[in-house]
Amino acid sequence: MNPVSPIRKIYQGVASRQQMFRLFDRHAQRPDRFEAEAGALYAGEWFEVGRVEHDTMLDILPPLWMRGEMFALREFLTDSVTSVFYALRIDGRVRYFHAYCDLNLPCSPIKMRDAIIERESWPVRAMTHEERLEHIWSSTHDDFRGYAGKTWPRDQQGKRTILVYCRGRDTTIKLLDQLNDLEIAAKLPVHLRDLPEVVAA
């Protein structure tokens, strides 16, 4: 149940150092962690970091390569997927980002850079439905999220699950992609709840 891969923003706002390290491996609990190739699961994920976090990662090891506003880490997450960090000028100021790029795909870091700039240049502060779900997954503690196991219907096994509060029924586990609007709003931080929802281009 691993493949995913389109470019996607997985966290709203600037991730702190602690959040950054959590986001690096936000799929650590997946049931097939040591069996299936996970490149497609991680490739395409990106989020914003601070300048200090960006510079720290540059100083940890000599980068695999540096090109203008980006550098790639020497240590690969999987066979061909590694971290690429960006320092991008958007709307007149430099902002910093982390992304997982599959270096086997031609121009993957360039396409990622262009996607980040396009997404962060939206004229109105908004979120897509998918971004809301990804933020919820990224910001939920491991104890309250997981994956559908063998007791779930076969077509749902391996999908992401999350613990939600239901009035009159205490808490229950639901598939992440089946949360309704009220459950999504309850899981989002207050400052993100009222952002308009847009359809991804």
Distance separating alpha carbons of residues 153 and 33, to the nearest angstrom = 21
Number of domains in the chain: 2
| Mean pLDDT, range 98-105, rounded to an integer | 93
Say whether both 26 and 104 belong to one domain.
yes
Question: At a CB cut-off of 8 Å and minimum separation 6, what does 109 contact?
Answer: 67, 70, 72, 84, 99, 101, 103
Q: How large is the angle between the packed helices 17-24 and 51-60, nearest 10 degrees?
A: 60
Q: Domain for residue 135, yes or no?
A: yes
Model pLDDT for residues 168-184, shown as the tens digit of each residue:
667 888 999 989 888 88
Say whether both 102 and 42 belong to one domain.
yes
User: Which of 120, 145, 166 is the C-terminal boundary of a domain?
Assistant: 120
Is there a contact between 163 and 145 (Cβ–Cβ < 8 Å)?
Answer: yes
Q: Domain for residue 149, yes or no?
A: yes
Q: Domain for residue 31, yes or no?
A: yes
Q: Domain for residue 1, yes or no?
A: no
Q: What is the DSSP secondary structure assignment for residue 196, as one 8-state letter?
A: P
Say whether both 92 and 184 belong to one domain.
no
Say whether both 33 and 50 belong to one domain.
yes
Say whether both 160 and 187 belong to one domain.
yes
Sign of the CA dihedral running 50, 137, 28, 42? negative
Q: Domain for residue 3, yes or no?
A: no
pLDDT for residue 2: 46
Say whether both 17 and 81 belong to one domain.
yes
pLDDT for residue 1: 45
How far does Cα 34 stand from its chain's mean position? Answer: 21
Say whether both 90 and 44 belong to one domain.
yes
Distance separating alpha carbons of residues 104 and 78, to the nearest angstrom = 11
Q: Domain for residue 154, yes or no?
A: yes
Say whether both 113 and 132 belong to one domain.
no
Q: What is the pTM of this model?
A: 0.86
pLDDT for residue 60: 86
Q: How many CA atoms, within 13 angstroms, populate the side-chain half-sphere of residue 139?
A: 20
Say whether both 138 and 73 belong to one domain.
no
Say whether both 109 and 37 belong to one domain.
yes
Say whether both 115 and 16 belong to one domain.
yes
Model pLDDT for residues 130-178, shown as the tens digit of each residue:
999 999 999 998 889 989 888 899 999 888 999 887 666 678 889 999 8
Number of H helices, E strands in the chain: 7, 11
Distance separating alpha carbons of residues 63 and 76, to the nearest angstrom = 11
Q: Radius of gyration (Cα) for the chain, nearest Å?
A: 17
Q: Domain for residue 77, yes or no?
A: yes
User: Which of 102, 120, 138 is the C-terminal boundary of a domain?
Assistant: 120
Q: Which domain holds residue 63?
A: 8-120
Say whether both 141 and 61 belong to one domain.
no
Q: Domain for residue 2, yes or no?
A: no
Model pLDDT for residues 50-59, shown as the tens digit of each residue:
999 999 999 8
Model pLDDT for residues 7-51, shown as the tens digit of each residue:
999 999 999 999 999 999 888 888 776 666 777 888 899 999 999
User: Which of 120, 146, 172 is the C-terminal boundary of a domain?
Assistant: 120
